[in-house]
Chains A and B, each alone.
Chain A
Amino acid sequence: MSNPITKYLPFFTDAEVPHTVSARPDTGLYSAKLGIWLFLASEVMLFGGLFSAYIFLRLGAEPGYWPAGLLNVPVGTMNTAILIVSSITVVMAWAALKMRQLGKYKLYMLVTIVCGLIFLTVKLSYEWPAKFNHFGVFIKKEEASKYEEFLGNKHLKDTGQSPRWEISGHLLDAPKGSHYAHQAEHNAEHFAHETGRHDAVTPAEDDYVIQLDAVNANPSDKENDRPHFWPVPTSTKLAVIKASDVESASVFAPRHSTYFATYFLITGLHGLHVLGGIIVFLYLWLPFRGGTQLYKTNPEHLANRVEIAGLFWHFVDLVWIFVFPIFYLL
């Protein structure tokens, strides 16, 4: 005991902690299950903070500044269904392990992983990029009368609806110096190729030329007052907007509006959770020592791990159940 510090403080590996696999009798829980529920409680508060921001900003938004119907509902519905299917398969994977059917476990887990990957792929390679190539300008209110043919505020007022200040579609020509110039050039080429028209690019240096969305092409059409399930294709009608009449202009990126800011932040964070879930599932599916190898020595431990990962995955699904209607539908 010459020096008690060096004698007693060498700490090596994890101390052997009880209740990693077995349940504690008085709580009926193994530790990880309690831990994951506490983690999920904190996740509830995390997404709760984000949803409260959504409510706060949406209620505080001035009329006409909270867009609707800009997202692709069929694709969103499909992704929702995919997540639900993956939730079913992950609970089936756990049940298979509990019944000691390793083959079935591997199959169900594979389906879960594939569903997760499809969800992410659709989000990242289709939904988000489509938004990044969609452009909107908010017209200054005092200049809005000049653009009445695209905004249709008289019709909206007569029918008791919120006013419209935004003109959106595909950007074909941007003012000089805009960092959307490259996108506009690309879109203009595409437009010329599709329609044979070359009038999209104006010689004026301070104009936005936009190939209009249906809602701006016929703003007084009753058809456009209601949301559509199938996305309505962009019209071939063009609008020329002076840069000086514009309050703000951007693609449908987070900086476009508080709507897209909340949409991208919440779906982005949700996407990260999906990615995290996939990584954990891959670990449990592949023959790692903590993965399917564990089945040989301690199948119950593996089942517990799958249960924990599954609880997380169900929670991710549960968040999406709210995300889908508040952004896509309502």
Chain B
Amino acid sequence: MSSIATADVGHHGGTDPHADHHHHELGFLQKWVFSTDHKVIGLQYGVTGLSFLFFGFLLMLVMRWQLANPGIAVPVVGGFLRSVFGETVMTDAGALTAAGYNVFGAMHGTIMVFFGIVPVAVAGFGNYVVPLQIGAPDMAFPKLNMASFWCFFTSCVLMMGSFFLKGSAAKSGWTAYPPLAGIADFENGNIWLNGQTMWLIAMVFNITGSLLGSINFITTIIQLRAPGLTWMRLPFFVWAQFVTAFLLVLAFPPLEAAGFMQLTDRVLGTSFFMPTGLVVGQSVAQTWSGGGSPILWQHLFWFLAHPEVYVLILPAIGIVSEIVANNTRKPLYGYKAMVYSVFTLGFLSFIVWAHHMYMTGMGAKVAAFFQVTTIMISVPSVILLTALLLSLWGGSIRFNTPMLFATSFLPMFGLGGLTGIPLAFNAVDLFLHDTYYVIGHFHYVVAPGTIFGLFAGVYFWYPKVTGRKMSEFLGKVHFWGSLLAINGLFFPMFIQGMGGVHRRWYDGGVTYEQLAGPVLHWNKVMTVSAGILALFQLVFIFNFFTSWKFGKKVGRNPWDATTLDWDTPTPPPHGNFDKPIEVFRGPYEYSVPGYHADFHPQTSRD
């Protein structure tokens, strides 16, 4: 390490011009596994998270089969699933059991939220792109970054391992509501090695990893911006990640505390969430002292889980903003308004959580408070969406694959958001609570919303990571197929929900035929759509791996973009930049009149 100048260059340029001198050849483990480089960690998070997204999707496919064909063996893979997941989950014939449906439901939710979307959207894209976009050589705390990933990885191993415990994985929903979660999974007599306890332990690791990562993001964005990169010159994606990181730092710890409490309820017999006189089986349970409150868990859980919704959506909005600006060849409409909106959104998201709890018997005053804040939060959301929509106005839009996903994000997220407004009113919510309407609402936000945003991001930054573009043709096949199938999957949920179909019926509503009969045939439509959706994801997987080897080679800036991430070599080397970085202008100077090109990079001086 002879390079004195690079050690603490500080404001003179957050770059490392001597990066190439440090090519000590280390082994595979240090390059790819125990790496402290933000790009490798971003890839680790991204690949792990994408794998979990597909795994969570597969769980859902089995559930959807069960809902459309209750009690009938899963075709082709039924026997295989029986041998993998065991007798709790699958019957000998290969059909999903009731307990199995609960396992898959709980794990689908947990995996999609905490092991899929957050790792990909926040930790994956955030880690890879944020330091590049702010002109930093790495994250502020590279070792902490590595620790964050390994905490997350530990939680993955524990969570997946819990499938193989006696009695299988957690069955109490991703919300783990006590008292049911407090008494679940004790059948095998082991207080530690059972699904729900393992769920809690895994979540504690997951949360710790998230906290370490978020602290790193905030510090990096504040401390390591390149010279000249003032706050209002930051790409919107960085703003979105900044606010997201704050949500995680401040909202996750109460859930970690609640996780400890439920853990002690389960292993030490405390009663944080276990009420007095709880009847388990035939008699009053003596295992708990009593005096606890299940409502307390709901408060602490939703104190995280509502901001978590914005953790899921904000990075996707950030990605979409980058792609929209780049492909309309125009600045974002109302950049500053978007920045202020994203802050307002972040702030308000902390004081709306009890709208998930209208059914717990809260009084009119409190319900009114949460109704008002919930309606208020739709204002910044609508500003964000409107700004993106207006950004399209009058642009000569390039409809490449990333842009297709990004544009479809707007109506899809809009549908998810607008269907949420009725749920904000507690009178309406009393009717719709726990129906498929709610499922439809939040799936529109996170599936054709966030996940489409993530796909857009994968297609957009893939060339930067690998040096090759993904196939446009396969990308378009993937997009149109997914768009149609995903609407076939989620739109009928609104119809079913208003018809009264409850989200936890494991037989697809057959038992409640008299109540829900007229809407049950939609189950078949949704299940077929889910199958088609799965087929089109195979196209993506194929495209993802083959393009790595055979995709079209690209240079530094294949999209003619302005931000700093396109000002690095492709792929970026260790230390990221091959020249000192200084920023002279805002992030989206496209089609500037009088400039010789239609994009004006942030580093360009003239």
Contact = CB atoms under 8 A, between A and B. Distances in A.
A265 interface: yes
A65 interface: yes
Contact of B249 (A32, A38, A258): A38
Contacts of B138: 14-15, 17
A20 B140 CA distance: 8
Contacts of B8: 18-22
A159 interface: no
Contacts of B269: 254-255
Contacts of A257: 271, 289, 291
Nearest to A50: B257
B223 A34 contact: yes
Contacts of A254: 264, 268-270
Interface stretch (A56-64, A72-80, A123-131, A319-327): A56-64
Contacts of A57: 272, 291-293, 296
A49 B258 contact: yes
Nearest to B15: A18
A50 B264 CA distance: 13
A166 B428 CA distance: 46
Contacts of A20: 8
Interface in A1-24: 4-5, 8-22, 24
A139 to B, nearest CB: 14
Contacts of B251: 45
Contacts of A50: 257, 261
Interface string B254-273: 11111011001000111110
A31 B140 contact: yes
A17 B268 contact: no
B467 interface: yes
Given A35-B141, A49-B254, A258 B271 contact: yes
A265 B143 CA distance: 30
Interface residues of A, number: 58
B322 interface: no
A60 B275 CA distance: 11
Given A9-B571, A56-B293, A269-B260, A261 B219 contact: no
Contacts of B290: 248
Contact of B7 (A16, A27, A34): A16
A255 B224 contact: no
Contact of A256 (B144, B289, B572): B289
B137 interface: yes
Contacts of B3: 16
B36 A14 contact: yes
A241 B260 CA distance: 34
B559 to A, nearest CB: 18
B253 A18 contact: no
A17 B137 contact: yes
A11 B40 contact: yes
A269 B253 CA distance: 13
Interface stretch (B18-26, B112-120, B415-423, B506-514): B18-26
B308 interface: no
B173 to A, nearest CB: 20
A29 interface: yes
Contacts of B270: 254-255, 258, 261, 264-265
Of the candidates A11, A20, A35, the one having the most CB atoms from chain B within 10 angstroms of its own CB is: A11
B271 A15 contact: no
Of the candidates A18, A24, A47, A50, the one having the most CB atoms from chain B within 10 angstroms of its own CB is: A18
27 contacts: A9-B31, A12-B31, A15-B137, A15-B575, A16-B6, A19-B223, A31-B141, A38-B249, A41-B249, A45-B249, A45-B251, A46-B256, A48-B253, A48-B254, A49-B255, A49-B258, A50-B257, A61-B291, A254-B268, A255-B268, A257-B291, A258-B272, A258-B289, A258-B291, A261-B268, A261-B289, A265-B260
Interface of A: 4-5, 8-22, 24-27, 29, 31-32, 34-35, 38-39, 41-43, 45-50, 52-53, 56-57, 60-62, 65, 248, 250, 253-258, 261-262, 264-265, 269
